Amino acid sequence: MGYPTQGGTLARLEAETRKAGRAHEDACLDLLAASWGRTKDGLRGLVMNEYRRKWGGRTWTLPGSGQVLAMIYHLSGGTLTQFYHEARAIIEKSVRESYRLEALRQVWMLDMLTPPSYKPKIPARALREAGAQNYAVSWEQALGEWIRAYQSNFMTNLRLEALHEGGMDDAAGEVDAAKIDGFDPGYKFSSALTNQILQAQSEARGDVADSNDDIVAEEIFQTMEDERVCEDCDSMDGQPVEDAEPIPVHFNCRCFQRIVPSDFAELLRNGTDEEKQAALDADARGLVPDSMAIYDPETHQLKAHIHVFFDAWAQQQDISISGGE
């Protein structure tokens, strides 16, 4: 029977965890994008309704546009306020779930790479009910400011359409044309959510490492190792976390701390008599079993258990995963 190295198994589990994290992030971003899409539909509808009410099929004229613009400003404010509350709820839930999912996956990885006698600890924060967790809400003020900036830009564009006597479609088109700091609103909102999710995932890894410092050998600064990695992050790739910059390094930083468990055979030596004997076998091979391992007292050989997938592991822990994959 062949046994993969501890590092190779960790790399495979890490890749699976990163893939799951990005899939969860995409699902959260889709929710936010759908909310913004409904908001834009509502804004276009109210512009067209007010246009028809005042001018019917005629082109926009400057006389009388003041009342129409005032009504659109009032109605758009209500629509954007509703989006603000929806977006806030989506971001809060997404960040909570991202922290929880990342923390549980990190504990799962440690459980797969340590002997059965070791039970990695789940941070208390990840076990609480979602509503009981407290997160920094620095993004909340920015979200409100961005929405106000969008409305201001939107109304300015509508006034220019009135000045140029544009048509109804031209006026409705300003919903998509209005920007925030020169950027598309959807991009700004999704960037804010992405940044919050990445920070929550980084916090989760740190909390798991702190809760399991007795079986964690080191924490490594890890980049995504692709063409998007910036020079600052690339220069720290592979360094111990204590020697690198705090993660995340910058806005929307995708770097993370890779948690490396202690040597498998060393952990076995601290376990039961059977595990101590298994440690000798592991030392002799220079390898460790795939995922969890036990020593078979009848055959006196190291046996590997089939890799326990995350969802099955979570069920064994009696943990409910909300907003999973």
How do residues 142-170 score in pLDDT, each as one tens digit? Answer: 899 999 999 999 999 999 988 888 889 99
Scanning the chain, the segments in alpha helix (DSSP H) are 6-55, 65-112, 124-127, 138-163, 168-177, 185-211, 231-234, 264-269, 273-285, 310-316
From residue 240, give the alpha-carbon distance in Å to each of 33, 214, 235, 247, 259. Answer: 37, 17, 12, 12, 10
Residue that wins the pLDDT comparison between 1 and 36: 36
Whether residue 317 is contained in a domain is answered as no
Of 206, 233, 254, which residue is a domain's last? 254
pLDDT at position 286 over 70: no
Q: Are residues 231 and 131 in the same domain?
A: no
Q: Are residues 43 and 93 in the same domain?
A: yes
Q: Are residues 241 and 143 in the same domain?
A: no
Nearest to 25 by CA among 201, 209, 258: 201
Q: Are residues 67 and 162 in the same domain?
A: yes
Q: Are residues 127 and 239 in the same domain?
A: no
Percent of the chain at pLDDT above 90?
49
Q: Are residues 236 and 197 in the same domain?
A: no
> Tell me, what's the pLDDT at 206?
92
> Tell me, what's the pLDDT at 133?
45
Q: Are residues 202 and 224 in the same domain?
A: no
pLDDT at position 308 over 70: yes
Phi and psi torsions of 221, nearest 5°: -70, 120
The single-letter code of the amino acid at 124 is A
> Tell me, what's the pLDDT at 301?
61
Three-state DSSP class for 294? strand
Domain region containing 132: 10-215
Whether residue 297 is contained in a domain is answered as no
Whether residue 127 is contained in a domain is answered as yes
Rounded Cα distance between 199 and 222, Å, is 14
Whether residue 133 is contained in a domain is answered as yes
Q: Are residues 234 and 125 in the same domain?
A: no
Tens-place pLDDT, residues 68-112: 999 999 999 999 999 999 999 999 999 989 999 999 999 999 988
Q: Is the dihedral of CA 48, 54, 60, 64 positive or negative?
A: negative
Q: What is the mean pLDDT of the chain?
A: 84
Whether residue 264 is contained in a domain is answered as no
H/E run at residue 259: strand 256-261
Q: How many domains does the chain have?
A: 2
Whether residue 197 is contained in a domain is answered as yes
Q: Are residues 152 and 234 in the same domain?
A: no
pLDDT at position 131 over 50: no
Q: What is the pTM of this model?
A: 0.84
Three-state DSSP class for 295? strand
In this predicted structure, which of 108-117, 130-139, 153-162, 243-252 has the lowest mean pLDDT? 130-139
Q: Say which DSSP state 241 is in.
A: G
Of 239, 254, 269, which residue is a domain's last? 254
Q: Are residues 159 and 246 in the same domain?
A: no
Whether residue 63 is contained in a domain is answered as yes
Q: Are residues 126 and 224 in the same domain?
A: no
Q: Are residues 206 and 225 in the same domain?
A: no
> Tell me, what's the pLDDT at 246?
84
Whether residue 275 is contained in a domain is answered as no
Three-state DSSP class for 144? helix
